[in-house]
């Protein structure tokens, strides 16, 4: 029954055919059980493990690598190779792919935990009326139409419509659905609101919420999947995980690279068709296989096998740095996503505010000698910690607040007319509440006012332990005044009273809604001398004016406090006693904004990131908070920038699009609205970060490009998120965005480094094939270079220091290519030099080396006909390991110099020297030591087909390698000047990562 909130109690009972005094009969229960589903959230269909594994290999580059590994293994067998040599290359490739697949499977398995944890919010038992008798049954056995009784502490077992109130009031904590910390008062009246949200349905008890005050009966209207909790589950199931911008760019790069690789491989094979019949191969088929093997080596050279591992390592390093900022990353790719975030949809309560009610204003009557003189006091401190001061209206701190009569009696009333507790939690290191947040705020106020009669009061209190300090003043008043009787808060009176005995004097303290308290007051307490005077119409009007100012303009939650001297010996209170009260004062409280949020907001605006505050709170309160935190600083007025969810939904399509581009605040939202907002923004190609802490936020957190849960939030929200804020602080998000941008810049640098290195390897093999000289590098040597000598420096590049102006740039566009335009040209030039230098080292050994054969160049080009003609040298010279060792070492050393080029995209090494990143220097040293190890340790040198080198050969290697520094310095100079910019436009169409629509709408 979807519209039960709009129906009367009798209509709802008639719909289910149930008698409220007897409940359902056994026949009706079985009938309803057949008509409606069980009261459990259905098990979601899990993705089979084998499907998760195969999904990780659904990538073009991965498929090419698998094919290259299989072909390499088959060719080794055809050539008669056995043992370690035949299996080494394919085994290493498959091990890398298996490791990457394992990371992917673990990540996807974690994402499904959110749905499991949703079940923790379902109630276990329920008190049910059936066949005229109450019994306690498992909550899973409930059916629509059941009459259920709930009381304080009960978890609501299903969605239910209130039918009978069994106490003065019923209050329910709906934070898991609405995100708002204040409990909601429930009633029996039907709701006439159109497009009613959860907060408007005051007669509905929602599954999973908790009763915090009162007792009532209700009829079940929805079970299992047909509850508010069920709709959250369905929304989460409908949400597919979006690929991160970097993942999309790498996928595009993979597709582009695959096409290039295929083209070059086919080209190399076709260019050498004329050599298939060369006698050295022993036949046309063997010649074809030989050049096919070269094409496979080319594929291995072109694919950066170490790229996934290096990306993962760099992101993992980023997560460690972010953890120190209190941002705990659950999903590695989200580290990079933060860098291109364009919109942050932030929850208000607990993220922008402290989620701790705090008294900020006090209003008392000072004197009426020269007409009504009202005094206002400010209160500092925004948490439950009893730390703060009282200030007068000029901003001067009061040294002894308790010496002022009104403030003293406000402290008494706050401590005594109160049913909450304030305590210190040593494990968490903070003060915690038990009970209503408004009552705890009054307890904290009593602590800030202090005690009268002690000149050393402030310093004396500070000497107490935090456990003792939590409620020291409150306990003092509770010991001075013995509570005799209590009149609980009720909806019709809107107030609470407590009768206390103090030194054989009976005093009643009352607190409640200002309109209720002020109307019952006949006297007023003056703050200047403690006198009590009659209240007149002028004074009453002045108090009403101050109350309207507090509640209206300043959107404070107001309570009025009063007292009454009672007859001696009175032991009970009645509603008739709550009249002829003496007004003490008015307190205004709010959930205060965090102090650091304003600066964080300014940082967002400077960085081109828009913040949309999303809250279940009412519009006026939320607008007040937004004014305080600076979210509206850039706006002249709020029209077109502040909407309720209902107002936004009523807008026509085109106006909704316009509203999304200007929106700064969305209020009165429920879970479906948050998810809708994320989808709408993503449809406008925005990269959306969404914050949340409740179960209600889980669908939106899962749908957002990056979901950010609060550390104090629910397990469901944390499981659905990509990142958790340990300190629940919006400012931490901004710090994490800055870190994300820095990580992306470093990621971009090492991707470019690896690409330019791989271009060099491709050029090397391609040029060698075109020139018709022997194979320059063996596939196993290429694999060593790609994985070890490329991987270590690339990872170290991730430690480059962030730019000082990282948060002054606008967010990068998700369509921005990782390597494009002028940069692609730069790295093409560098890659070409790397490849040509490698080939040059190979040719040098044959033609010029003192230890080489000193062959004419024509002999080298005709090496394959050596067995068929007479030569002055043995043909075995072409099997010598020296030339490929020189070539491989040139490739390694030139890439080490190229790694230094990547300390910065455009800054010279003279400005950013190598020692600015000691990790990179260390990785280069380690890489060279590993390379020397395989050259000079016999088992390894045999495995990699290399040999030891002489000093003369090392000198030539350095001469061939160092110019890569000079070439890149020249290119960087052009980048820093207008010439580089013109090149950027000239080469724009040759993007290494072709631009296309990122989202399949």
Residues with active-site annotation: 347
237: tokens are: 């199931």
4: tokens are: 């039960």
In the DSSP assignment, the letter for residue 577 is G
Other Cβ atoms closer than 10 A to 760: 27
The C-alpha atoms of residue 656 and residue 677 are separated, in whole angstroms, by 11
| Cβ-proximal residues to 187 (8 Å cutoff; 6+ apart), any chain | 162, 165, 202, 203, 491
- Of 96, 152, 32, the closest CA to residue 300 belongs to 96
Is the CB of residue 451 less than 8 Å from the CB of residue 457? yes
151: tokens are: 């009381």
Other Cβ atoms closer than 10 A to 769: 23
The C-alpha atoms of residue 230 and residue 158 are separated, in whole angstroms, by 10
Burial of 421 from C-beta contacts in 10 A (0-12 / 13-18 / 19+): middle
Is the CB of residue 461 less than 8 Å from the CB of residue 472? yes
Tokens 């009367």 correspond to 8
DSSP labels, 832-886: HHHHHHHHHHHHHHHHT-TTS----HHHHHTGGGGGGS--SS-GGGGG-SHHHHH
The C-alpha atoms of residue 436 and residue 357 are separated, in whole angstroms, by 9
The C-alpha atoms of residue 640 and residue 443 are separated, in whole angstroms, by 40
In a 13 Å sphere around the CA of 975, the CA atoms on its Cβ side amount to 18
Is the CB of residue 750 less than 8 Å from the CB of residue 310? yes
Phi, psi of 189 (to 5 degrees): -70, 145
Tokens 């050539």 correspond to 79
The alpha carbon of residue 392 and the mean position of all alpha carbons in its chain are separated, in whole angstroms, by: 42
Bridge partners (DSSP) listed for residue 424: 431
In the DSSP assignment, the letter for residue 590 is E
Is the CB of residue 698 less than 8 Å from the CB of residue 722? no
Burial of 118 from C-beta contacts in 10 A (0-12 / 13-18 / 19+): buried
The C-alpha atoms of residue 939 and residue 392 are separated, in whole angstroms, by 84
The C-alpha atoms of residue 327 and residue 738 are separated, in whole angstroms, by 12
Burial of 669 from C-beta contacts in 10 A (0-12 / 13-18 / 19+): buried
DSSP labels, 785-851: IIIIITHHHHHHHTTPPPPTTTTTSPPPPTT--SS-HHHHHHHHHHHHHHHHHHHHHHHHHHHT-TT
The C-alpha atoms of residue 12 and residue 929 are separated, in whole angstroms, by 80
**3-state DSSP helix/strand/coil percent for the chain, to nearest 5?**
50, 15, 30
| Cβ-proximal residues to 65 (8 Å cutoff; 6+ apart), any chain | 93, 97, 300, 303, 305
831: tokens are: 């890659």
The alpha carbon of residue 984 and the mean position of all alpha carbons in its chain are separated, in whole angstroms, by: 35
Strands 610-614 and 665-667: parallel
Report how far apart, in Å, the C-alpha atoms of 747 and of each of 318, 468, 541 are: 10, 51, 66
């Amino acid at each position: 029954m979807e519209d039960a909130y709009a129906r009367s109690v009798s209509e709802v009972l008639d719909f289910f055919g149930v008698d409220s005094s007897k409940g359902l009969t056994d026949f009706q229960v079985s009938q309803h059980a057949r008509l409606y589903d069980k009261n459990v959230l259905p098990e979601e269909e899990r993705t089979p493990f084998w499907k998760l594994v195969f999904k990780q290999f659904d990538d073009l580059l991965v498929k090419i690598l698998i094919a290259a590994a299989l072909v390499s293994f088959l060719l080794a067998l055809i050539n008669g190779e056995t043992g370690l040599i035949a299996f080494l290359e394919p085994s290493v490739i498959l091990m890398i792919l298996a490791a990457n697949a394992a990371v992917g499977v673990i990540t996807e398995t974690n994402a499904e935990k959110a749905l499991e944890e949703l079940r923790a919010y379902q109630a276990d038992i329920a008190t049910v009326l059936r066949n005229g008798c109450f019994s306690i049954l498992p909550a899973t056995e409930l059916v629509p139409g059941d009459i259920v009784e709930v009381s304080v502490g009960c978890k609501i077992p299903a969605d239910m419509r209130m039918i009978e109130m069994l106490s003065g009031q019923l209050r329910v904590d709906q934070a898991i659905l609405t995100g708002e910390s204040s409990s909601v008062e429930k009633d029996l009246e039907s709701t006439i609101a159109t497009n009613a949200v959860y907060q408007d349905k005051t007669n509905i008890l929602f599954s999973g919420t908790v009763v915090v005050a009162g007792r009532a009966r209700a009829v079940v209207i929805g079970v299992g999947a047909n509850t508010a909790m069920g709709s959250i589950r369905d929304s989460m199931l409908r949400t597919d995980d979006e690929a991160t911008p970097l993942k999309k760019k790498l996928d595009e790069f993979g597709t582009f690279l695959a096409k290039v690789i295929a083209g070059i491989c086919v080209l190399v094979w076709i260019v050498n068709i004329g050599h298939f019949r060369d006698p050295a191969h022993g036949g046309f088929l063997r010649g074809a296989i030989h050049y096919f093997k070269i094409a496979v080596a080319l594929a291995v050279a072109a694919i950066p096998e170490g790229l996934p591992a290096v990306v993962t390592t760099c992101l993992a390093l980023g997560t460690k740095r972010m953890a120190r900022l209190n941002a705990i990353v659950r999903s590695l790719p989200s580290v990079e996503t933060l860098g291109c975030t364009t919109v942050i949809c932030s929850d208000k309560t607990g993220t922008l505010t402290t989620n701790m009610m705090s008294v900020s204003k006090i209003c008392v009557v000072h004197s009426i000698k020269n007409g009504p003189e009202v005094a206002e006091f400010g209160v500092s401190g925004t948490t439950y910690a009893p730390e703060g001061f009282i200030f007068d209206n000029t901003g001067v701190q009061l040294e002894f607040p308790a010496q002022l009569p009104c403030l003293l009696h406000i402290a008494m009333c706050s401590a005594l007319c109160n049913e909450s507790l304030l305590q210190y939690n040593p494990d968490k290191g903070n003060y915690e509440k038990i009970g209503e947040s408004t009552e705890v705020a009054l307890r904290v106020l009593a602590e800030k006012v202090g005690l009268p009669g002690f000149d050393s009061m402030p310093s004396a209190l500070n000497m107490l332990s935090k456990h003792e300090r939590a409620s020291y003043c409150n306990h003092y008043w509770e010991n001075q005044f013995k509570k005799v009787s209590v009149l609980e808060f009720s909806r019709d009176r809107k107030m609470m009273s407590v009768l206390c005995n103090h030194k054989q004097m009976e005093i009643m303290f009352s607190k409640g809604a200002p309109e209720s308290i002020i109307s019952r007051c006949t006297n007023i307490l003056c703050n200047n001398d403690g006198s009590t005077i009659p209240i007149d119409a002028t004074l009453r009007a002045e108090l009403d004016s101050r109350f309207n100012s507090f509640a209206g303009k300043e959107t404070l939650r107001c309570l009025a406090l009063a007292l009454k001297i009672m007859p001696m010996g009175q032991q009970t209170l009645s509603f008739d006693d709550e009249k002829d009260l003496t007004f003490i004062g008015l307190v205004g409280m709010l959930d205060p904004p965090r102090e650091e949020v304003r600066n964080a907001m300014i940082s967002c605006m400077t960085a081109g990131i828009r913040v949309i505050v999303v809250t279940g709170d009412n519009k006026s309160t939320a607008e007040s908070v937004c004014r305080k935190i600076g979210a509206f600083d850039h706006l002249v007025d709020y029209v077109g920038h502040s909407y309720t969810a209902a107002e936004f939904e009523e807008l026509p399509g085109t106006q909704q699009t316009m509203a999304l581009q200007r929106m700064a605040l969305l209020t009165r939202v429920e879970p479906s609205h948050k998810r809708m907002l994320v989808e709408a923004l993503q449809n406008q190609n925005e990269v959306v970060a969404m914050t949340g802490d409740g179960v209600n936020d889980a669908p939106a957190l899962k749908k957002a490009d990056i979901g950010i849960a609060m550390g104090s939030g629910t397990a469901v929200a944390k499981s659905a998120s990509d990142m958790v804020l340990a300190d629940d602080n919006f400012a931490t998000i901004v710090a994490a965005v800055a870190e994300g941008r820095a990580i992306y810049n470093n990621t971009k640098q090492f991707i470019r480094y690896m690409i330019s290195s791989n271009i060099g390897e491709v050029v090397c093999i391609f040029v060698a094939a075109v020139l018709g000289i022997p194979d320059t590098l063996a596939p196993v040597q290429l694999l060593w270079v790609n994985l070890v000598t490329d991987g270590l420096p690339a990872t170290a590049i991730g430690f480059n220091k962030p730019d000082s102006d990282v948060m002054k740039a606008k967010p990068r566009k998700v369509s921005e290519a990782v390597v494009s335009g002028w940069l692609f040209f730069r790295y093409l030039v560098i890659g070409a030099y790397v490849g040509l230098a490698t080939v040059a080292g190979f040719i040098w050994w044959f033609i010029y080396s003192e230890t080489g054969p000193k062959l004419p160049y024509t002999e080298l080009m005709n090496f394959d006909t050596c067995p068929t003609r007479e030569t002055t040298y043995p043909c075995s010279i072409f099997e010598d390991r020296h030339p490929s060792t020189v070539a491989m070492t040139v490739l390694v050393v030139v890439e080490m110099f190229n790694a230094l080029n990547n300390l910065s995209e455009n800054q010279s090494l003279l400005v950013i020297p190598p020692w600015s990143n000691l990790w990179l220097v260390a990785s280069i040293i380690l890489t060279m030591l590993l390379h020397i190890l395989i050259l000079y340790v016999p088992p390894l040198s045999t495995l990699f087909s290399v040999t030891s080198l002489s000093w003369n050969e090392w000198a030539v290697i350095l001469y061939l390698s160092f110019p890569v520094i000079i070439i890149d310095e020249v290119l960087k100079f052009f980048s820093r000047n207008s010439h580089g910019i013109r090149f950027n436009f000239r080469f724009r169409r040759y993007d290494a990562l072709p631009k296309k629509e990122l989202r399949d709408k």
